[in-house]
A and B are shown apart, each in its own frame.
Chain A
Amino acid sequence: MSRTPLDTVEHAAATPDVELPWAELGLKKDEYERVVEILGRRPTGAELAMYSVMWSEHCSYKSSKVHLRQFGEKAPESDAMLVGIGENAGVVDVGQGYAVTFKVESHNHPSYVEPYQGAATGVGGIVRDIIAMGARPVAVVDPLRFGAADHPDTKRVLPGVVAGIGGYGNCLGLPNIGGEVVFDACYQGNPLVNAGAIGVMRHEDIHLAKASGAGNKVILYGARTGGDGIGGASILASETFDDAKPSKRPAVQVGDPFQEKLLIECTLEAFAEKLVVGIQDLGAAGLSCATSELASNGSGGMRVTLDDVPLRDSTLSPEEILMSESQERMCAVVEPEKVDRFLEICEKWDVIATVIGEVTDGDRLEIYWHGGKIVDVDPRTVAHEGPVYERPYARPDWQDTLQADDANKLPRPETSEELKDQVLKLVASPNQASKSWITSQYDHFVQGNTVLAQPEDSGMIRIDEETGLGVAIATDGNGRYAKLDPYHGAQLALAEAYRNVATTGAKPLAVSDCLNFGSPEDPAVMWQFAEAVRGLADACQQLGTPVTGGNVSLYNQTGEAAIHPTPVVAVLGVIDDVARRTPVAFQEEGQLLYLLGDTREEFGGSAWSQVVHDHLGGLPPRVDLERERLLAEILISASRDGMIDSAHDLSDGGLIQAVVESALLGGKGARLIVPDGLDAFTFLFSESAGRAVVAVPRSEEVRFNDMCGARGLPVTRIGVVDGDTVDVQGEFALPLSELREAHEGTIPALLK
């Protein structure tokens, strides 16, 4: 479609007074003035499109950057880090020449608007990040949070999100091995759909997002570019230049997992033949992001001819092409003599591939349209030198009141009958109930390397068939704890994920995080964010697990009501031989049950306080990271040396929740004895951190006790695997059949 005149760089310089819709595109006045200052003239429409989208909160991290720096500044010494924060995803050395890349991201807002496509494209985006590092994706995980389980809108959002994750991930052939599902009224209207992925490669196959070598070609491949996912660009395109044009385009992208599967295979084939110099996936901000990041990370500049971009809709304006977030596209930098072979591989996989530009020896990113130069910028100013805000933050007034409302003072069960009823109520509550209705919609088996999948403590994938080398991943986050104390809440999220990885026998190595918060313009939310980041960075330093990358999602709030601060932490671990992994399920009757760690009266933010009293107040469980580290060492040693046959970490719901899960999964009951010094209620429901329950074969009892004793980990014998009831001696006995009905019936009944 022709437009007169084309807003070229020349035209912009000659018409300084033309008003541009910078405010509608989300830029602040001073931000727009900064663009003008950088360019020394007003931006063209295309340039404005690029700056506005790349300087958005989502792409620039402008509110969070000053805090996120701590992850680098406090990063512990680690031999395992191969690629750190700033690339598409971090890369960790797992030994035997293998490297693993992993990352967690959010797709929260789109998933509320259009649950199926929002969640599906969330999986698609994170998987492309993994491919862009040079790795074959081997698994996905999905930490999810929804509004109240019985709210009518949850019935709209949840099944769509789950079907979208399944529909996309299953069709890609990626086993879904973990994640979480949490319900809380605070997520009503702001569900959290986080998606994580893991990829595996050899060290020498690591690829980076950079365009180097003048004369190298820039190839766009994958799906055609359409009008989906264009936020503000349509305003720019229609209102400024062309009033006759329909302006509203769908803001949520639509996924095509089949196309993405082809993209994975053809990209990996190109990597295998060493055809790729640099690579970037097209996600948020589409071509604007890919071209500016590739160019600014490389040694030269880049020239792109936008007319060559294959389009799904021929009426798209150049601004829209630059901002389109059409899915399943990637951008590769390829040496000229290898271009033919690269295109051949794309053709083999029926993937459209087009040379759209080349690397230049200058330092400018220049983009042409219909022969005119419509973009001429220093790519660094677009990709990396966006605004940075030191937003004000302040501990909210209500924090003291909240912490003073002590959950330890809530009425406790007075009779054995009441205790039993509360156990049944707990294991049947939506947050504690079995999520198999959800997870059975995900393929766990594809690729034939899944050693453990949900509901295990961590998902585990074998990466070498000969040696048995494997990786484990767990994601955790407890918004209730973080609301009570964001600093320690974030540390508890890390501690739980770290413990979960160790419980399965793997050694925790590195961290990725997805930080979900309300509006950064609210000083109370900003304080929560600052505290959580500080807490997480401190804890990562102490545990020796560096943050390799992640994602921040702000503005998760409706009106004044923000979600609970919800830092979701993913911990990646390595296990030398997956044959030594420890499952959750009880394996054999007669094995002895031991509780590792200390149990205190800690009920603030607990599942019990929520389920029985609908209460949130007090302080979360105490954090002791040295204890977590010791516990992890013991669990890993015990797994390696065959001293334990099953293990389960204790977290929300406390000991009774863990024992019930192990019993139901193994189809074997347990007899429990309340240890000296503890009352039955605290024994069963406390959520003290740094604990796990293990089942020890009788032949290993002495050796196991000696090890714990020698290393100073408190260990208490609490019972035995036995029978078909969970029997808390002197209190109650619940048949497994009754527990199963309670535990497994809830979610299907709510969502049918």
Chain B
Amino acid sequence: MTARIGVVTFPGSLDDRDTQRAIRVAGAEPVALWHKDKDLKQVDAVVLCGGFSYGDYLRAGAIARFSPVMEPLLEQAKAGLPVLGICNGFQILTEAHLLPGTMLRNDHLHFICRDQKLRVENAETAWTTDYSAGQEIHIPLKNNDGQYVADAYTLDKLEAEGRVAFRYLDFNPNGSQRDIAGVTNEAGNVVGLMPHPEHAVEPLIGTGRTDGLPFFTSILKKLVNA
């Protein structure tokens, strides 16, 4: 048996097919979810993928957050459903208040696409158990609005509780506070990050590394062993 992992397509989602491929590569079964769906088709986990939902003409993720599919998603995520938000998906999760903080435009005001070095800070979330804490990985990053910000109290709290999941190493590509690249909720089932693990799952494609694959194998193991 394998796990069924949903990937939501909003108008303007770009990495939906790529994310489905990454799920397949890891050995799980991808399930396409449409933003107007009112249920989650009994999937075992959900990925909100990258893109420019609704063109991101308002704040990134601000409109997608009100899509019909977000209602069951919010409810089930609070009850423990594993959810991963990548890039625009991370932005949607912060807009939906499943994760703290928000994303501003990159501090240098340009879109940036690069092979980004990260440190895995928390290897105990639903999506990171196949990493080890402190592991250094390279994951492609590509965004216009990736500057993670939150008030000092929230940032202190996140750090104290070990909820900073990933940090940028060597180079902070967008001015994110405390080099934060990704965070998790308290329960560890909801994770969001700006870099794109789904673009680092095959040795030939993209940057030629597979450092992103453990996201998808982590969740598969967790779900299959559960």
Contact = CB atoms under 8 A, between A and B. Distances in A.
Contact of A258 (B17, B55, B142): B55
Nearest to A259: B55
Interface stretch (B91-99, B185-193, B198-206): B198-206
Given A257-B55, A441-B111, A448 B142 contact: no
Contacts of B54: 258
A442 B21 CA distance: 22
Contacts of A163: 110-111
Interface string B39-56: 000000000001110111
Given A166-B111, A349-B11, A448 B21 contact: yes
7 nearest A-B pairs in the assembled complex, by CB-CB distance: A258-B55, A173-B14, A448-B18, A445-B199, A171-B52, A443-B142, A445-B140
Contacts of A259: 55
A350 B11 contact: yes
A750 to B, nearest CB: 15
B65 interface: no
Contacts of B167: none
7 contacts: A166-B110, A166-B111, A170-B144, A173-B15, A256-B55, A258-B55, A445-B206
B111 A450 contact: no
Contacts of B204: 451, 462, 578-579, 581
Interface hub of A445, A449, A462, A581 (most chain B Cβ within 10 A) = A445
A448 B17 CA distance: 8
Given A166-B111, A462-B205, A579-B204, A447 B11 contact: no
B140 to A, nearest CB: 5
Contacts of B22: 448
Contacts of A170: 52, 111, 142, 144
A462 B21 CA distance: 14
Contacts of B14: 171-173, 261, 446
B18 A442 contact: no
B203 to A, nearest CB: 9
B11 to A, nearest CB: 6
Nearest to A258: B55
A80 interface: no
Nearest to B142: A443
Interface in B137-176: 140, 142, 144
Nearest to B198: A448
B11 A450 contact: no
Interface residues of A, number: 33
Interface of B: 11-12, 14-15, 17-18, 21-22, 50-52, 54-57, 110-114, 140, 142, 144, 196, 198-199, 202, 204-207
Given A256-B55, A462-B205, A444 B113 contact: yes
A450 B140 CA distance: 12
Given A170-B111, A446-B199, 9 more contacts: A170-B52, A171-B14, A171-B56, A443-B111, A444-B206, A445-B140, A446-B50, A448-B22, A578-B204
A451 B196 CA distance: 16
Interface in A252-283: 256-259, 261-262
A262 B11 CA distance: 7
A167 interface: yes
A258 B52 contact: yes
A440 interface: yes
Nearest to A257: B55
Contacts of A445: 113, 140, 142, 196, 199, 206-207
A258 B12 contact: yes
B171 to A, nearest CB: 12
A307 to B, nearest CB: 29
Interface in A53-90: none
A166 B144 CA distance: 10
B206 A448 contact: yes
A578 B144 CA distance: 30
Contacts of A450: 205-206
Contacts of B110: 163, 166, 440-441
A448 B52 contact: no
